[in-house]
Structure 1
Amino acid sequence: MTDKTILVAGTYDTKADELGFLVSCIEDQGGRVLTMDVSVLGDPSGPVDISKHEVAEAGGSSIQTAIDSGDENVAMQIMGRGAAAKAAELCAAGRVDGAIVLGGSMGTDLALDLLGALPLGIPKYVVSTIAFSPLLPPERLPADVQMILWAGGLYGLNSVCRASLAQAAGAVLGAARAAQPPQRDKPLIGMTSLGKTALRYMVPLKPALEARGYEVAVFHATGMGGRAFENLAQEGAFACVFDFCTQELGNHVFGSMVSAGGSRLTGAGMAGVPQLVAPGCYDLVDVIGWQPADPRFDGLPSHAHNRLITSYVLDDEGRRKVARAHSEQLAKATGPTAVLLPRGGCGEWDRPGEPLHDAAGLAAFCDELVATCPDNVTLHDLKCHINDNAFAEAALRVFDAWRDAGHVPA
């Protein structure tokens, strides 16, 4: 088994014992380690591979500037920028195969910067006293980050925190050894959807695109799935995207924690990646089902999908607001952009006779989108439902035309 190198970052002035234990666990399993100190005021008790001075300088600043700020928040943001830049540099040079960061709230704040700078597929772990906390905004979470609660580890080593640290060491090293970087032997198509109950276009589209020589990755648009999709789109990993479930944008507009962040529906467009877009399940806003209902949704129909997610059905004005948000995001696109607008409905429950069918609400959304559609977008008004074969066929016609024109690699 080829040894892997893990980047172990933290404040080596105050957490030297805990970080040292983590390092020893990785090395005892045959792994290699690069250590990165992100402390500000103190100095590590032993040598580190990447000093706090190197980290601050990588972020375009210095330790003295961080100290002189007199503000711990400002200082740690300096270190966060530097840690992210240094980690990205190490990864690009092939010097690290995974990364793990240890910290409380300060260290976790920095960890999100550092790990967010690493590409999808590189194992990235946070051992944190605030793991899984609502303090962590979804838009800052790297799409494939793994979190381990640092139980009993606020100050000093003990048997409880050793158990957490030992498991974390095994997890990151095992992940690095088992990782299979994405292959790029075929052009990759990114697609968004929900489960086949609500949206089924991927069933005919995936084999049709594969028959044309493409690989297809379908992302579950429930917050973190959209984050992963946007991350890869921004990196230019996709030859084209079929972004047919934009519900996360509505979630963001209405303040739901089930969000992919404010950049949703911009990654592909701003990277110049050809994008086909359709408003799958635009009419629903998902919220955390086990929390008290937000008064803003009073009077709206709702459906408890399970104990975790409750969906609210938007009224006409809410749908118009979501339509305008689509237009605002799509106006930022620099590459070929087409919107497929299925007038027959945008979710399986929005058909005549189904419980969420609302012809007037659908018309309100469609009319607002048509009225506000930016000039850089080609609009295809379709007389079908999003789950009809006619919709998939229309999408393939646009895609084939783009491929024939050279916009999408063959």
Structure 2
Amino acid sequence: MGKVYVVGTCDTKGAELNYAKEAILAAGAEAVLIDVGTLGSGNTADVSAAEVAAFHPDGASAVLEHTDRGPAVSAMATALTGFLATRSDIGAVLGLGGTGNTALVTEAMRSLPIGVPKLMVSTVASGNTAAYVGPNDLAMMYSVVDIAGLNAISRTVIGNAAHAAAGMALNPVAASVSDRPGLGMTMFGVTTACVTQVREVMEKTHEVYVFHATGVGGQSMEKLADSGFVAGLIDVTTTEVADLLIGGVFPAKEDRFGSVIRTKIPYVASVGAVDMVNFSAMETVPAAFRQRRLHVHNAQVTLMRTTPEENIRIGQFIVERLNRMQGPVRFLLPLRGVSAIDAPGQPFHDPQADETLFSTIRAGWQDAPNRRLVEIDAHINDPQFAAAVAENFRAISA
């Protein structure tokens, strides 16, 4: 059974943090209070701010000698990340705080593997929490009142959070009993036919995890790869790159494909749905794009067709990262279309734009024994293409 790490700034939230620790102990779990304050005032934490700060790559002075709170908080987040990486007894992490401490603690929480319980009580938990949560199993609880003193409301909210964290630490979920290796796959509505065919084949030998390619979906898949949860990836749907480069609402991060570069796991991928950039409802499409080729996917999603010029940028982004991969790689080009609406008679059918994409990837491709560019004279959703995806993955992961 691991311990609950209660993390916060004891220089400003000492009473609240100690209340959480006491509630955890009363619930039967072990608790460790970690101070990440930067004001230097005394406290009764189990691990002092100075001890945490010492885990900064540049030493404690890089954290504690800042006179500006912003850089100090950022440096402490780096130190806390390093500190948590050295701990082998974490049963759960509970953070309490406002905007500064939320940013600090959640940065460190995001570095922990999927499956380690992470709960943040925060004054900003009722808004857009994407920046704090990212592609992680991190739960946020709205504090209702500011974490500035104990009262009837804060005691209830903090107490509930403490009991939740204690419960997770006391009742760890058993590891999966599946003896099949994990396999991550990306899918969008317009590549569903392909991915479904591949998934049905691969489920015979693998535990398959499918991720919706909505920006955070790709990040989540790569987080699992970095955490060792998957033994390979079939990344058919790389559409998030288009949103990143052109300004859509489902963008990848700059580190897209980074997990494959780092882990060298078997990787089969394609250019699924890079013919489109995603926006919300039609009225949200930026004025600069209103005259472009648009398609209403549903009331909340409007798609914009990528141009040949944009496909050059997309192709260059992808191939540059493929060339850095040292593990086994197969990248497949579906020469007859990259999405369900990029086919003859469909609204985004544009052979010239597709050929520009393919030519860019061909031109940038660097041959290597571990990497192979495979061209398939089929549409991405054709059975022929799906079969090629599955066959290529089996060939490099045997």
Structure-2-length-normalised TM-score: 0.89
Q: Where does structure 1 lack aligned partners over 5 or more consecutive residues?
A: 403-407
Superposed CA offset, 1:234-283 (max 9, x none):
34443221111111121111234523311112211332112111111111
Alignment correspondent of 2:5: 7
- Residue 286 of structure 2 corresponds to residue 300 of structure 1: no
- Residue 212 of structure 2 corresponds to residue 214 of structure 1: no
Distance 1:337 1:64, change over 3 A: closer
Q: How does 1:143-158 map to 2 (within 5 A)?
A: 143-158=136-151
Alignment correspondent of 1:358: 350
- Residue 76 of structure 2 corresponds to residue 79 of structure 1: yes
Alignment correspondent of 1:36: 34
* RMSD across aligned positions (CA): 2.6
Structure 2 residue matching 1:126: 3-state secondary structure: strand
Structure 2 residue matching 1:207: 3-state secondary structure: helix
Distance 1:399 1:315, change over 3 A: same
State the identity as a percent.
Answer: 29
Structure 2 residue matching 1:48: 3-state secondary structure: coil
Alignment correspondent of 1:172: 165
The match for 2:238 among 246, 250, 257 is 246
Question: 1:168 & 1:373 partners in 2: Cα distance?
Answer: 51
Alignment correspondent of 1:51: 48
Alignment correspondent of 1:275: 267
Question: 2:210 & 2:361 partners in 1: Cα distance?
Answer: 25
Q: CA deviation at 1:14?
A: 0.5
Question: 1:207 & 1:305 partners in 2: Cα distance?
Answer: 26
Question: 2:159 & 2:275 partners in 1: Cα distance?
Answer: 46
Q: Which moved more, 1:16-25 or 1:324-333?
A: 16-25
Q: CA deviation at 1:184?
A: 6.7
Distance 1:151 1:321, change over 3 A: same
Q: CA deviation at 1:57?
A: 0.8
Q: CA deviation at 1:154?
A: 4.5
Read off the aligned partner of 1:231 and give its amino acid letter.
K
Q: Which moved more, 1:10-19 or 1:316-325?
A: 316-325
Question: 1:175 & 1:358 partners in 2: Cα distance?
Answer: 52
CA contact (8 A) 1:236 1:273 kept: no
Question: 1:313 & 1:287 partners in 2: Cα distance?
Answer: 11
Superposed CA offset, 1:67-102 (max 9, x none):
433222222222112211111221xx2x11211222
The match for 1:262 among 254, 263, 267 is 254
Question: 2:40 & 2:296 partners in 1: Cα distance?
Answer: 51
Q: CA deviation at 1:55?
A: 0.3
Question: 1:113 & 1:99 partners in 2: Cα distance?
Answer: 12
Question: 1:264 & 1:104 partners in 2: Cα distance?
Answer: 30
Alignment correspondent of 1:405: none
Q: Which moved more, 1:216-225 or 1:148-157?
A: 148-157
Q: CA deviation at 1:38?
A: 0.2
Distance 1:256 1:163, change over 3 A: farther
CA contact (8 A) 2:267 2:393 kept: no
Structure 2 residue matching 1:322: 3-state secondary structure: helix
The match for 2:304 among 288, 306, 312 is 312
Q: How does 1:306-345 map to 2 (within 5 A)?
A: 306=298, 308-345=300-337
Alignment correspondent of 1:96: 90
Question: 1:291 & 1:143 partners in 2: Cα distance?
Answer: 31
- Residue 138 of structure 2 corresponds to residue 141 of structure 1: no
Structure 2 residue matching 1:58: 3-state secondary structure: coil
- Residue 76 of structure 2 corresponds to residue 107 of structure 1: no
Q: CA deviation at 1:191?
A: 1.1
Q: Which moved more, 1:373-382 or 1:281-290?
A: 281-290
- How many matched pairs? 395
Structure 1 residue matching 2:11: 3-state secondary structure: coil
Question: 1:263 & 1:137 partners in 2: Cα distance?
Answer: 15
Question: 1:198 & 1:398 partners in 2: Cα distance?
Answer: 18
Alignment correspondent of 1:232: 224
Q: CA deviation at 1:41?
A: 1.4
Structure 1 residue matching 2:16: 3-state secondary structure: helix
Alignment correspondent of 2:179: 185
Question: 1:135 & 1:189 partners in 2: Cα distance?
Answer: 28
Q: CA deviation at 1:304?
A: 4.6
Distance 1:236 1:310, change over 3 A: same
Q: CA deviation at 1:295?
A: 3.8
CA contact (8 A) 1:201 1:392 kept: yes
- Residue 114 of structure 2 corresponds to residue 120 of structure 1: yes
CA contact (8 A) 2:244 2:252 kept: yes
Structure-1-length-normalised TM-score: 0.87
